[in-house]
Chain A
Amino acid sequence: MKTFFEQFKFDAKRLLIRNFSFLFFSLLMPAGFYLLFTKIMISGTTAELSKLKLSYLGSMIIYSGIISAIFGIASLLKADRDEGFLCYLQLAPAKAKYYYGSLYLLIILVNLVAVLILQTLAVLLNSVKLDLYQVLFSILIVGIGQLPMVLLGTCLSYLKKQETLNVVSNLIVFPLAIVSGLWWPLSIMPTWIQKVGQVMPTFFANDLLSSVLLGNQIKTGNIIGITIWIIIGIAGVIVTLKLYHHRGWSFNA
C-alpha cells in the first residue's frame, strides 16, 4: 500500500499539480463550454431553459470524461512509455501495477472534480437545483461510465507515433461528442447518425446521467450498454497488451 501511495503522490504532482494544460482541458474547458452554451447561446421558454441547463450539465460532465480519458490517459501513458519509464517499472519488483492503478485513480478523481466544478457552476450561476442523491449518483455514473473511454485511451496509447495518436484522438473525441448528443441534441441529427450515436458508450453514460439530473427513470438499456462497452474495452486492452508483449517491452528493442 505504501508503494501505491508513493506512486500516487508522484503521479499527482507531475501529471496534475504541475501540468496546467491537462487541468485546463479536463476541467476548465468543459466548464467554459457549459457557461457558453447555457448563459450566452440560449433561447426558449423558462421550462425549456431549466431542462437545457440540467441536460447540458450532464453532457459537459461526460465530455470532460472523454477528454481526460482519450487525451489524458492515452498521451500520458504514451509519453511515459516513450521515455522508458514503463520499461523501468516493468523491471522493478512490483512491475507497473501500482503505476496503472495510480494513473486510473488520478483520471477518475480529475473527473469527479470536474463533476463538482460543473455542478457548483450550475447551482451558483444557473440557479440549478441539485439534491445529494443527484450529486452522488452523478459521481457514480461518471466513475463507471468513463471506464470504456479509459480502456480505449489505454489501447490508443500503444500507437507507435505521437502524431498518429494526436490525429486518432481528435478523430475519436469530437465526432464521438457530436454523435452522442453532447454538444447539440441528437434529435437534430440525420437518422443514421442518431442510430450510430445511440450505441456509443458516451451516449449510454450521458443518457443515464441526464435521467438522474432531470429526475427521470433510469433505463436498464443504458446500464447494459455501458457494461457491454466495458467488456469490449477490457478485451481490447488484453489483445493490445498481448501484441505489445509479443513485440517486447523495451523501448529501444
Chain B
Amino acid sequence: MREIVNVKELNFSYGNKRVLKNLNLTIHQGEIVGLIGENGAGKTTLLNILLGLLPADQEIKVFEGKPGQKKARQKIGSMLQGDIVLANVTVTEMLHEAAAQYFRSKNVTELLQELNLQKQADQLLTNLSGGLQRRVTFALALIGNPELLFLDEPTVGMDAQARKMFWQRIQALRDLGKTIVITSHYLEEIQQTADRLFILQKGKFVFQGTFQELQNKDKRTIIHFKTKLAIKNFQKLTAVVAATQLEDWIDLVSDDGDATLRSLVPFLEEINNVSIQRESLENIFLKMTNRMETLA
C-alpha cells in the first residue's frame, strides 16, 4: 500500500524542553490512525510538524515531499484545536472563502447538507454554539476534498448526536479511501474507528499497532455478575487482582479469566447475569500511563 506519511527518528524540542523523542511512524493510504496520549504527550506538536507548521530537521515525508510543500497542501485537510470564529462572517461565506483556496474543492451546498449545517448556512459564525462551530471547522477541513486528514481533538464540544454523525462521516471517508490521523480523548470512539493506534507518552511511542494487538498484550479480563453474597468471597479467587462492588453487582478484574471462571464454579447457584469483558482501550491506556494506580 502507498506510503503517505513517513517519519524517521524524529526529535523535537521547544527551547531546552525535548517534547518528541526518536519517533518512527509510517502511515499508509486509506488507514485511520488514532494518535492518543495524555495532555502534553506531544500529539499536537507531532501533527503540527507533519503539517509543516513547526520546523523539523529530521527526515519526514508527507506525500513523498517535505511537510508543508504546496503539492502536499493541496491534498491535506486539517482540523486543529480551536475553531476559526471570524467576526461578521456567515457559515456559507466562510466555506466559500476556504473553497476558493483549493483547485478541486467540494461544493459548499453539498457539504453543508452532508454535515447537516443547512439551517446554519446564513448564520454568523459568532452566533453558533461551540459544537456547531466545531462542525464548521470540520467542514473547513473537508472543503478541499483532501486525501489526507489531520484531526486534532475533532469532537471536543460536540453533543452526542453530532459526535455520532462525525464518526459516520469518518467511516464514509474511510470507504472513499481517505487517510485519516485523529487525536481524541474519547478513546471508546477511537477504539471503534482506528485501524492502528499510536500511543504517545512523554514524547515517545509506547505502543504502535491494532487495538487487537494491544488487547492481546493485556491479558486482563473483567468478570461482571450479580449476587447477594459479600465481596470478600470473591477477592481471593484465582488470578483476581481487584474486586469492586456496587449494590448487588460485582466486578472482578482477573489476570487469567479462564482460571477465575473455574474458581467461580462453587458459587454458580448464587450468581447470575454473568458477563465477561476484555479491557477497553481507555483502561489499557490508563494503565499504560500509570494513572490506574494513581486513581486506585
Contact = CB atoms under 8 A, between A and B. Distances in A.
B28 interface: no
Contacts of B53: 87, 90-91, 248-250, 253
Interface string B33-58: 00000000000110010011111000
Q: Classify the secondary structure of B's interface with A.
A: loop
Q: How extensive is the interface on chain A, given as a class?
A: 20 to 34
Given A92-B102, A249-B53, A84 B44 contact: no
B88 A92 contact: no
Contacts of B52: 91
A85 B86 contact: yes
A92 B98 contact: yes
B217 interface: no
Interface string A92-126: 11110000000000000000000000000000000
Q: Classify the secondary structure of A's interface with B.
A: helix
Interface in A60-106: 79-80, 83-85, 87-95
Contacts of B45: 253
Contact of A93 (B74, B80, B93, B140): B74
Nearest to B89: A14
B84 A253 contact: no
A7 interface: yes
A250 B73 contact: no
Given A91-B53, A253-B45, A14 B144 contact: no
B101 A93 contact: yes
A248 B50 CA distance: 13
B132 to A, nearest CB: 16
Interface string A1-35: 01100110010011100110000000000000000
B84 A84 contact: yes
Q: List the 4 closest pairs (A to B, CB-CB), nearest first.
A: A92-B101, A6-B100, A18-B88, A14-B88
A251 interface: yes
Interface of A: 2-3, 6-7, 10, 13-15, 18-19, 79-80, 83-85, 87-95, 245-246, 248-253
Nearest to A86: B84
A252 B84 CA distance: 12
A148 to B, nearest CB: 28
Contact of A88 (B81, B100, B140): B140
A91 B76 CA distance: 8
Contact of B84 (A3, A83, A246): A83
Contacts of B78: 91
A92 B48 contact: no
B98 A13 contact: no
Given A87-B53, A250-B51, 6 more contacts: A3-B100, A90-B53, A91-B52, A91-B73, A93-B73, A253-B53
